[in-house]
Structure 1
Amino acid sequence: MPSQQDRAESAFGALIRGIVEESPLKAAGFIVTIYGDVVEPRGGVVWTGNLIETCAAVGISETLVRTAVSRLVAAGQLLGEREGRRSFYRLAAPARAEFAAAARLLFGPAEAADWHFVQLTGDAPDEAMQVLERAGHARLGPRLAVGARAMPALKQPAVIFRAEVVSGEGDLGVFAADHWNLAQHTEAYRGFIDRFQRLANLLAGGARLSAAESLVARLVLVHQFRLVVLRDPRLPQAALPADWPGEPARSLFTDLYLRLSPEADQHVARHFVTVDGGLPEMSEATARRLSLLRGAN
């Protein structure tokens, strides 16, 4: 007869498979998540074998991992080094800056609204407009966009106007509905809640995950929440619908991250290797992340 631990492992495995099937993982993107959640806050270097082992737990093969690592190196995001027969990879400086910005969105306090208009002035505005839209701006015309959050880096020349709401704040929701497709972001947040509420229910029902399972669960949690948050225009509360699911999704992310972290971090300390030895269970950066999440909880 299977033990309670065996049943918990079986239920967890089925749950993770279901989540991954509903929202498939790409090797390069999941490796980026491993660096952002585990490696970068502990110095930025890790052995390739740890990447392979961790990705295998979510169904990503060693071949896909090695191909993805090669592409990340070619893209200038990772730098490789060897120690004997082992290969290690660290984040390149531009990638570290990107990771820091993403970490602020996941773990930091809510951003203040910063309304502005961007008028693109060069000969080829289409690529820059796509960059603005991916960063949550709304297209008002072929060269004009509006946003409420930090400006992304643009190669295209632009004139930027700062803006503030001086009247009509009650109609900000109408303005936002006219210019942003909030329905797709609502659907993304609700999908996240649906998938990870199952994990919350499993844990609330008394299931005990191993340290390795806790790390896998946290990585999948971070990966999927990061994708949703980075695509969100992150409009101020006054511009959002009354039933906006962003805050419930963030609350669920925070609760699960804090619950999974003790065991997950123990697994990192026991098994993850850098050039100089094992990765630490905690660092100043990981402690700060947990403190910020506890403060927001």
Structure 2
Amino acid sequence: MTLAVRGFDGLSDIQQRLTVRAPAMIVTIYGDIVVPRGGVLWMGTLVEICARLGISETLVRTAVSRLVAADQLVGERDGRRSYYRLASGARTEFAAAARLLYGPQAAADGFLIHHVPGLSDEVARRFRLGRMGPDLYLRPRHPENAPLSGLTFRADAIKDGGLLADYAATLWNLQSFADEYRAMIDLFTPLMTALKRGETLLPADAVSARLLLVQVYRAVLLRDPRLPADALPRDWPGLAARRLFGGLYRSLSPLADAYIGTFCEGRDGILPAETDETLARLESLSLEACL
């Protein structure tokens, strides 16, 4: 049965509402499909996956060249075939993103205050810092926080009185994150509803749908400072977005992984449908759903 409910024409409805850019999607493909299956992908497979998402071969090859130049990917040839793997410098970044996407979502344990003279706005955004004043920044305390130079102090709100959320809203643009989470929920809920009713997708479309889900969620999650609950607005949609991501990812994975294990090629042949890492991701998302 093909998917078509209440004007929701399967995958095409999602694709029509998204702008899919080749560099970002290739990063998503490597993070979701390739890295947990050995890390190497044949260019022909990459072109085929992207074609199903409306990205032309020319755009794919241009994006790959730029990712190579940016030390994100490394190419190798075998006869007339080209294969690409993650550059060593990109592995740490990909691993950190994977832990956030597929690992357990630990709540922030208070805050850190950083005194860092001369910090650029770009670095402050990358570290998801809230600017408190000249050379002074606040961020939630998470185990995976990358270290910053300068002075660092631990901080907790001793007396809240409801002011913490108001103050946090002056340091981070929480409304923009909330809007993106709600847009994601609006975009993917019809698909989740249809799958719960027993409707299904073609295996290749399950791959495309899962990649789009990961890309949309990843785009906001990696910028979200993930503040403690008492620093967030009452109607914060991040938790609902997380539940939707985990549930839909698990629902799409049997078909998607079966397709990957049949048609997607790496350096040593067809990629495995499952690996210890892919199974660990699903288990983590399943356990999280039970909490």
Which TM-score applies when normalising by structure 2?
A: 0.91
Cα gap change, 1:35/1:153 in structure 2, threshold over 3 Å: closer, same or farther?
farther
For 1:58-103, what per-residue CA distance to the aligned partner results, in whole angstroms no more than 9, with x for missing partners? Answer: 1000000000000000000101111111100010112111111011
Q: Answer yes or no: is 1:75 the counterpart of 2:67.
A: no
1:111/1:149 contact within 8 Å kept: no
Change (3 A) 1:59 1:11: farther
* Equivalent position amino acid for 1:272 in 2: C
Q: Which amino acid aligns with 1:193?
A: I
Are 1:143 and 2:147 counterparts?
no
Which residue number in structure 2 is paired with residue 121 of structure 1? 117
Change (3 A) 1:117 1:76: same
Seen in structure 2, the aligned counterparts of structure 1 residues 63 and 226 have a Cα distance that, compared at 3 Å, is: same
SS at match of 1:8: coil
Task: Supply the AA of the counterpart residue of 2:116.
Answer: L
Report matched runs for 1:253-272 at 5 Å.
253-272=245-264
What residue in structure 1 maps to residue 81 of structure 2?
Answer: 86
- Which of 150, 164, 173 is residue 165 of structure 2 equivalent to? 173
Write out aligned runs for 1:1-297 (5 A): 5=1, 7-8=2-3, 14-114=9-109, 115-122=111-118, 125-126=119-120, 129-150=121-142, 151-152=145-146, 157-168=149-160, 170-297=162-289
Question: Secondary structure of the equivalent of 2:137?
Answer: strand
SS state at 1:80 partner: strand
Structure 2 vs 1, CA of residues 238 and 199 (structure 1 numbering), >3 Å: closer, same or farther? Answer: same
Give 1:15 deviation, angstroms.
4.0
Report the Cα offset of residue 290 of structure 1: 0.7
Report runs of 4+ in structure 1 exceeding 4 Å deviation. Answer: 9-13
- Taking the aligned partners of 1:246 and 1:108, their CA distance within structure 2 comes to 16
Asked whether the 8 Å contact 2:195–2:251 carries over to 1, the reply is no
Select the structure that is richer in helix.
1
Give me the CA root mean square deviation: 2.1
What is the identity, as a one-letter code, of the residue corresponding to 2:251? R
Measure the CA separation in 2 of the matches of 1:227 and 1:93.
Answer: 23
Per the alignment, in what secondary structure is the counterpart of residue 203 of structure 1? helix
Aligned residues: 286
SS at match of 1:81: strand
- Measure the CA separation in 2 of the matches of 1:141 and 1:23: 37
Q: CA deviation at 1:272?
A: 1.1
| Cα distance, 1:120 vs structure 2 | 2.0
Deviations 1:208-232 (A, max 9, x none): 2111111111111111111111111
Closer, same or farther: CA 215–11 of 1 in aligned 2, 3 Å? farther
TM-score (norm 1): 0.90
Q: Aligned-pair distance for 1:11?
A: 9.2
Distance apart, 1:142 and its partner CA? 3.7
> Comparing 132-141 with 249-258, which one deviates more in the overlay?
132-141
Change in Cα spacing, 1:149 to 1:93, as seen in structure 2 (3 Å) is farther
Quick one: percent identity of the two aligned structures? 48
- The aligned amino acid for 2:115 is Q
